[in-house]
Every structure is written in structure tokens, then in C-alpha cells.
Structure 1
């Protein structure tokens, strides 16, 4: 069967980190996709959703769109809730009406950090920030509208495929010989984006549903993550300047502990494995895109 006659996976938020990663991985895996950026599909516009689903007739929607600026959300709550709560809810309702599968993403920031052991899908959420609350409301709305939806909570992305992540900035600072400040009192579950995308796709193809936690195995502070990345890259860890989160000037409160565990077991490999592959990806991208040589 050719792509021309195969129902696609419709990917929203196609210009963001997750959207681009899904497009890349689906191409590698031979999965037919239609990728729409914010300009092509506003997920908080009910009529726009109906037009897109009617035009492309997808068997599944991967919602990679959303408001991602955690600190700015504190002063931009209306937009954050529109993109993170209203949009996924409208997608879920439209998918329910058409019998379409839905995969959407949530965050470790739905938790308040009072726990001292990894949060599982059955742990009680309590968000501390506008962003976290917008994600928590989205989970509830989506699963009410579409109980067969797949809602993946994840945390602390890193990937060499774009520049919008902590590990990329830590490596860049070290290579420039610059100091890199990182919080040393917040414990997180870093997540290598290609692992997240591949396992999420596996779950979608298997028709999994409900809440799932996906993060690489391992618990780190942000400062520890930066030092590990630099050590594996052969760079000087001394450029990492550990600081308490309270001194970072963040507008949004973060949980002191937001490590993700799962009732489903460990589905992603270790953080260290992800970092090794991040560095391999960097080398492959550098070979594919060598710097221009100026002549004359």
C-alpha cells in the first residue's frame, strides 16, 4: 500500500522540538505523516481542527503543539491555558467524534515535589505553576473527552536535533570556555527526545491509552546532568557553576523532586546512554553540515 492510500498520522506543532522529532523518526520508520505548524493549524480553533481532520483523514493525531515557556506563563496565563489546555481538549473531542487515536504530552511539573520516591502514574498531582496547572487540566480534559487517548508525561528534554534544550546549551558554553550556571537542588528525570518519540510511537501503534510516564532511567540535578554531559564529551566540568534554584530568578515555582517512575516498568534506557547517543548525533550532524570555507 502506498502513502497515497495510507491514512496518515497528523502531527501538530510541527516546527517545535517534539514535532520535528516525530517527523524525523516517522520518516526513518516509514510511517506516513502530515506535519502542520502553528500557522497551518491552531489547535485552539475548533473549526480549524475540523478542517484539518476532514482534509487529511488521519488514523491518529500526535499533538506536539503547546506553550512551553514555563516562567513566561506566570504572566501570560491566558495564552498558556489556551494552547496547553483548551487546544488538547478540542483535539480530544474532535478525535472522539471521528474515531481517531490521540497522543498528547504532559509534564513532570504537574507534581509538587513533596514526594521522595519517583512519581508514578497513580501518584496524586499538585501543580505549583501556571504551566504545570495547564498541563494537569489538559490531562483531565483529554481523558474525559477521549478515554482512549494516550497522555505521556515526560521531563527535561535533550537532543542534538535542535538547540532548544539544556544539554545543548551546557555543551556549547563549555566549548566556548564560558561558565554555565545550573540548579543543584532540583532532582529530575532527563529525557532523550529520540527515545521518547520512538517509545511513544510504539505505544500509539499498540493502541495504548491513559497516562504513561516516559523518561530515561536515572535521577540527576540539573548541575549533575550538565557535568555528566561534559564528562562524556571530554570537556571541562569545572565550567558548571552549581546554584540553588531560588537564586536562578525563575518566575515559576519548580518541584524540588519531580523524578518519574512508572507502573508499567522502565521503558527507556539510561540517561547516560541517551547522552552518548546525543554526542553521536552531534558528530553525524557536523559531518552532514560541515562549516563553510571562505576562499579569497
Structure 2
């Protein structure tokens, strides 16, 4: 199976690349410098050059707050580009796996979101990601859209690494406690993508949209406390993790109060379930603080 990865420099792209190496998988990892995903000619050339069996689009504009002041750029990357990629994949007869987000929902649902729940994004980021999903669906049938949430791992910038950095010199952290979701490790997303890629290539996949979130639900405050507790076993530091409300931490973009994703459809279809978020949190903190040889900046 030959995989073409777009967005190789992101935290998920780097995780997927590392997993492909670990498994001896043929993967061509292209970053923005190598292929401009907003340029249909560049995307077509990448497909022709690498002749993949499946394309994975892990590229996105993910600066949620900054998107409010850069709506055109966010739309170009998150809405227009996925449609272009999907069109080129459809023309080449190659299936596409695209990564989307919980931000397509408004967070007002009481329970976990399922794939068929109505979309109601709160801000520019969510609206552009929802538009990207729609563009992919319009381009052709052979696609898998995987929505995930609260992404973290050893690569790039994310909430877990921010907590580790702040805990080095702060005695008190104030963390929002009235937003809940499923922290999802990049390792699980990468493994889920590969689990879905095989049937996609074989032509036996059930095409459409799926949720792929970490197992278990917590708040940002609960997630932060788990990170700090594990880090303390290495650093001896245990700053206070104080709970605050969303209203006490205003941001340019509104966040969903509920980002819980029901991933049971993905598990039933592709026979993969993400690990409990607590387990993955321990593993990621251990990797980062035990000074793993893995480059984790």
C-alpha cells in the first residue's frame, strides 16, 4: 500500500510518518513547501509523481483564534483545498482520507455527538472545516472524513506540551472546567487512519464520515490535572490546577462546551478503538520528560 500524506509537518503528519516508518509502510510525506494544497496543479503533480493507493490529508489551518481575523486564509486551506484534493483524487480513482474536527458542532448537545448530528459551527475555523467536508462529499464517493478532537502528542504544539511548559515555572495554573471532550492522541489518530486505509485501498470501505476520538471524557481542567500529576513524577513540581469558567477566559473564537465524540461507528466499521486518554497522556508525558531520543519539539 502506497500512501501519499499531505500536511507532513503538522503534529499528526509527523506522527503518521513515524508510524509508517515503524511499520515499514511506503509513505510519501509532503509538506507545504513540497506541495501547495491550494494549487490544483501542484496536487495533480503530486498524485502523478507518487502514484499512491490512498491519499491522507492531514493539512489544515488550525489556529482557531487567529482564524477569526484571517477568515480568507482559513477558508483557502480548510474549505477550498480539501475540495481541490478530493477532485484530483476522484479523477485519479484514488480514495481520500481527510481529517476534520469537533468544531463543526456547536457543543450544545447533552450527550456525545454522532456523525449524523446537524452541523452548527461557532466560528470561522469550524465553518471552514465544515465547508471542507461538504466540498469533499461533492467531489466523489471514495472518501473517509475522520472527525477528531482535543489533539495532542509528542510533536508540534498542543495543550499537553503547553501544560508541561507552564508547569516548569508557575505555581498556579487556571484551566477551563466547563468544556468537556475526548482528548485524542496523535498516535491513535495515525493508527486509526492506517486501519481505515487498508479497506479503502481494497475497495471494501464503507465511505463517509466517522468520529475518531480518544476513549473517555474529561474537561480541560481534568486533562491538565492528569498531565501535571504525571509530570510531577519526573519534576517533583506540582503546581495548583485551579478550575475556571469559559467566561473567565475569553478568547476571540467561541469553543464548543461539549466536544464529546461517539466513535463507536468507526470501531464497528474498522475494528479500531483509541486508547483511554489517561493511558495515552501518561505515555506522552513519559516520552517527553524521559528525554526520549524522538525529536519532540
TM-score > 0.5, shorter chain as reference? yes
Any conservation in 2 of the 1:129–1:253 contact (CA below 8 Å)?
yes
From the superposition, tell whether residues 36 and 287 of structure 1 become closer, same or farther in structure 2 (CA, over 3 Å): closer
Q: Unmatched 5+ residue regions in structure 1?
A: 1-6, 291-296
Whole-angstrom CA distance in 1 between matches of 2:121 and 2:85: 23
Whole-angstrom CA distance in 2 between matches of 1:265 and 1:204: 13
Of residues 73-82 and 236-245 in structure 1, the stretch that sits farther from structure 2 once superposed is 236-245
Task: Please name the residue that 2:35 is paired with.
Answer: 41
- Match of 2:265, SS state, is coil
Shift of residue 225, structure 1, vs aligned partner? 0.5
Whole-angstrom CA distance in 1 between matches of 2:106 and 2:14: 30
Q: What is the RMSD computed on CA atoms of the aligned residues? A: 1.8
- 1:61-113 CA-partner distances (Å, limit 9, x unpaired): 11111101001111110000100011010000000010111111110011111
Task: Please name the residue that 1:190 is paired with.
Answer: 183
Task: Please name the residue that 1:85 is paired with.
Answer: 79
- Match of 1:233, SS state, is helix
Task: Please name the residue that 1:132 is paired with.
Answer: 126
- Match of 2:60, SS state, is coil
TM-score (norm 2): 0.89
Any conservation in 2 of the 1:227–1:237 contact (CA below 8 Å)?
no
Aligned length: 282
Shift of residue 197, structure 1, vs aligned partner? 0.7
- Which residue of 169, 191, 203 corresponds with 1:176? 169
- Which residue of 276, 281, 288 corresponds with 1:275? 281
Alignment of structure 1 residues 1-296 onto 2, 5 Å? 8-162=2-156, 164-207=157-200, 208=205, 209-234=207-232, 237-264=238-265, 267-283=273-289, 286-288=291-293
Task: Please name the residue that 2:270 is paired with.
Answer: none
Any conservation in 1 of the 2:231–2:285 contact (CA below 8 Å)?
yes
Any conservation in 2 of the 1:64–1:105 contact (CA below 8 Å)?
yes
Q: Unmatched 5+ residue regions in structure 2?
A: 268-272
Of residues 235-244 and 200-209 in structure 1, the stretch that sits farther from structure 2 once superposed is 235-244
Any conservation in 1 of the 2:231–2:289 contact (CA below 8 Å)?
no
Whole-angstrom CA distance in 1 between matches of 2:132 and 2:238: 39
